[in-house]
Amino acid sequence: MSNPPPDSDRLETRLRNRCALLDGLIRTLDADTLHGYPADSGLSRFFLAHRECGSRDRRLLSEAVFAWFRWRGALTPHHAPGAAGSLLALALDGQMELCTDLFAHLHPHLPVERVPQADDLEKRLLEFSTWTGCPPIPPAALLPAWVPDALCSPPESADLDFYDRLLTAFQSRLPTWIRFRPIQPNPAITQFLAACPGAISHPYRTDALRLPPRFNLRGQPEWERSLIVQDLASQAVAAVCQPQPGESWWDACSGAGGKALHLADLMHNSGTILATDIRASALDENRRRSQKAGAQSLRHQAWDGKQDPAPNQLFDGVLLDVPCSGLGTWARNPDARWRLDPTRITELTELQFRLLEIAAPKIRPGGTLVYATCTLTEAENEKQIDRFLGAHSDFKPNPMPHPLTGQPCHAGRLWIYPWDGPACNGMFMARLIRV
């Protein structure tokens, strides 16, 4: 009978196996992403195929994937996709606690105690270059080169300052936001805050809470029906709509239904909401969530984005949360920056305008049109609304309060930047009225 291998041999085997697993995953997802496939879908498929991965490995692999895409632009000039590069990305991300033993195995010449710590993005990259011995990487390398020309920077900000701030925001890991629903009986938010140390209520939107890192909502079943996981910027969209009880609304590109459910809650489940989408899977999820939430005012319907979904019916309001390039979500979905072909923006602007043209005649005189995107480009936002108003003299901007501050938005347009939450997705919204 042979003797069992010593502990050092078992450790070496375990590290080697984990390195091989991580290396294959990063290489596959990096190649897939460059062909337009989302990393989260690929990661889900990987875990289905590797059920032997425990919770610790799943967390390491997940965080390593998104750290790689977050810092990919700084790493690829000197480090190929794979386990070694993704561990360097975790070091830049400040998540060395996940991989100290693995890091020492792959990078024995780099002292873990000297991992870059600077809060300033440029200084952190300089520390990183000194630490690794690689030439310095400018922060601009963290995003594709076409991005600066596509952005719409706020008038009060110099373009360079705005871009530097955006770069820093995109390298941050965003928190999870939840929205408390106005249902009865409803546990008080104060009770939830007591049960969840570290959760923070938004100072203006008191029904919005920011959760502490890695808080497990699944372990809190008593709150399941009372809250919705929804980014703060997305919560602002229904607030801009300002729907009233008894009204009729059309959520044209409803997706999985987070904003439709918010409309229903703001209307106290009174009135009607038509939720449409072209994607059958999203609409199925929309139905499931609506049923679970008891949102009886919601009606679901497949829509091809071309024909009138409700002939002979006018609505009090239409929410048009259109398909877009998604730059505002790049902190939460870092792989998206590398899979977006900039020529796609031109295609999206034509689709967005076509949807505006379909929505316009479906609104009664005096009714509301809310246009929203989760992107930060000028072509899909300011220029799109200018184009629409130039073609439709029967619509005009409708002033509104800013949903996160209460301050007036006199032009009926607003931007939410990733630091406005603080720490949320970027969004653009315009509120128009049909005269």
What residues have CB less than 8 Å from 225, skipping those under 6 apart?
181, 183, 292, 293, 294
Q: At which residue do the structure tokens 């059309």 appear? A: 250
User: Residue 9 CA to chain centroid, in angstroms?
Assistant: 43
In angstroms, the CA 420 to CA 154 distance is 13
Sheet holding 177-180, edge to edge: 200-201, 208-210, 177-180, 227-229
Element spanning 276, H or E: strand 272-277
DSSP string of 290-344? HHHHT-TTEEEEE--SSS-SSTT--EEEEEEE-----GGGTTT-TTHHHH--THH
Peptide bond into 422 cis (omega under 30): yes
Provide the token pair at 377.
């480009």
Residue among 99, 253, 324, 374 flagged as catalytic:
374
Query: Coil, strand, or helix at residue 146?
Result: coil
Measured from the Cβ of residue 1, the count of other Cβ atoms closer than 10 Å reads 3
The helix or strand, by DSSP H or E, that contains position 287, with its residue range, turns out to be: helix 280-293
Query: Does residue 134 have an active-site annotation?
Result: no
Give me the DSSP letters along 33-80: HHTT--HHHHHHHHHHH-TT--HHHHHHHHHHHHHHHHHHHHHTTTS-
For the chain, the straight-line distance linking the first and the last C-alpha, in angstroms and rounded, comes to: 89
CA distances from 236 to 115, 151, 240, 242 (A): 38, 21, 6, 10
Distance CA 199, CA 431 (A): 31
Q: Sign (positive/negative) of CA torsion 245, 249, 251, 256?
A: positive
CA dihedral sign of residues 43, 49, 50, 52: positive
Active-site positions read 374
